[in-house]
Amino acid sequence: MINQGNILTAAEMKRAEQKLIDSGVSVDELMRRAGQGAAQMIWRVAADMPTLVLCGPGNNGGDGYVIAEWLRDKGVEVRIAAAADPTTDAARHAKSLWHGETVLLEEAQPAAQFVDCLFGTGLTRAIGDGWFSDFSRLFAGAKRRVAIDLPSGVESDHGLLLNDLPAFDMTVTLGAYKPSHYLEPARSKTGHLVGIDIGITADSNLEILPKSQMSGPTSQDHKYSRGLVGVVAGAMPGAAQLTALAAQKSGAGYVKIFAAAGFPSPHSSIVVETVEDSADLQQKLSDPRISAIVVGPGLGRDDQARELLGAALAADAPLVLDADALTVAGTEFSALVKNRNAGTIATPHAGEFASLTGRAPEHKIQDSCQLAHESGCSILLKGADTVIASTEREVSLSAQDCPWLSTAGTGDILAGIIASRLATGLGAYKAACEGQWLHSRAGQLAGPAFTPEMLVDQIPASLQECL
């Protein structure tokens, strides 16, 4: 994986490239590595497809000249559509090495394959109407579309679309992955994502969510050492039942539901302990054998729910806050959780995030980091994309994609999986990361149009891949 999975913002990428240049690698050499690496990837996928490369005025356009010359040398029918003359020395040098046909952008005709080198990392404003009209025309006339680094019209750091873009078949990123490769709505426009190593080695607080290496129980383990997960139930039993089943399937040694009298257990192996009121709950949650608590799924939003939430917050065990618990906490959330002594994880979607902060997340990475810092709580902002932020401003972005998870009940399952990982003794951020990976992978394994119960059944297979 390029740059060891570290994701770089536009500013970080610029500094990383400058570090290489300061070490003696010329800009021309960096452009050669990038362009030839991208060309080789294009060649592997569509070796003989007639190709039009759209070159902009900057270094992304310079990469396009290198790509075109490499493909031409391989015998590909290739032309360049130039939006403007190169404005950097490296791009001018790359153009001087191009021995094929160049046409003006407005005069260019579509080819079977369209390679977008108009703009790359660092774009901050929309492409002008004239250029974008020709861009769209050439895109529409192609059978296969490839973006270099980022699709032109994408802002690199926040997943924003600066133009109304169609979706590419493939994006070839150079040197390091960028935040917008993993943030919606930009992520949906990149198609298949591949990376080209150009020698960049740079640390960052952003990383691609890794597949964790987990350990199974040993011969010395027992149900409590593997983790007792307590699920606080409320007005809607189905959600808490799903959470409990997910925690059990994720490896917890013991799962117990704390609920009012008459609550039905989802399985004979899951204990339901009756609680009379919030004071009784608080006393029972003080059991030192409890390794992690989940509160929120099916909790309700009335006064009784608020009292149950208060009892959970007062417990000494690590805590996962989800669903109704977040809505009930509202804008008091940070004040309620910041003084807890045990690890705490909140798993809001965008609407619940707005309940906690008073506004919907605008820049997901920065906003998640800010809430984590203010609350002293790890934040997993879930949705079509997922951002996980620690209290130390570490951030993981999920690279796994499973749109079928947009189903009622899957968030309750995520809370249970995370609680199970938290119960093993992991820190809050690490538990959230492992839980998210397992949840996404289980969704992929479940196939299309699954029910929440079918998703739960795939958790052990997801876990097995990490052992």
Give residue-wise pLDDT tens across range 27-64: 999 999 999 999 999 999 998 899 999 999 999 999 99
pLDDT in tens, 320-376: 999 999 999 999 999 999 999 999 999 999 999 999 999 999 999 999 999 999 999
| Distance (Å) of CA 168 to CA 116, 136, 165, 313, 319 | 10, 12, 9, 46, 41
Please give the sequence-ordered ranges of beta strands (E in DSSP) within 88-141, or none if there are none.
101-104, 113-117
pLDDT for the residue numbered 435: 98
Task: Give the residues of the chain that fall short of pLDDT 70.
Answer: none
Residue type, 64: G
pLDDT for the residue numbered 421: 97
CA 340 to chain centre: 27
Domain ranges of the chain: 2-208, 228-464
pLDDT for the residue numbered 212: 87
Residue showing tokens 């590595």: 33
CATH topology of domain 228-464: UDP-N-acetylmuramoyl-L-alanine:D-glutamate ligase (3.40.1190)
pLDDT for the residue numbered 48: 87
pLDDT for the residue numbered 199: 97
How far apart CA 300 and CA 449 sit, in angstroms, is 27
CATH topology of domain 2-208: Rossmann fold (3.40.50)
- Tell me whether the CATH fold assigned to 2-208 matches the one assigned to 228-464: no
**Torsion angle, CA of 394/400/403/404, rounded to 10 degrees?**
-110
pLDDT for the residue numbered 274: 97
Are 152 and 119 within 8 A, CB to CB?
yes
How far apart CA 116 and CA 138 sit, in angstroms, is 10
Please give the sequence-ordered ranges of beta strands (E in DSSP) within 129-232, or none if there are none.
144-148, 170-174, 192-196, 206-208, 228-232
pLDDT for the residue numbered 47: 86
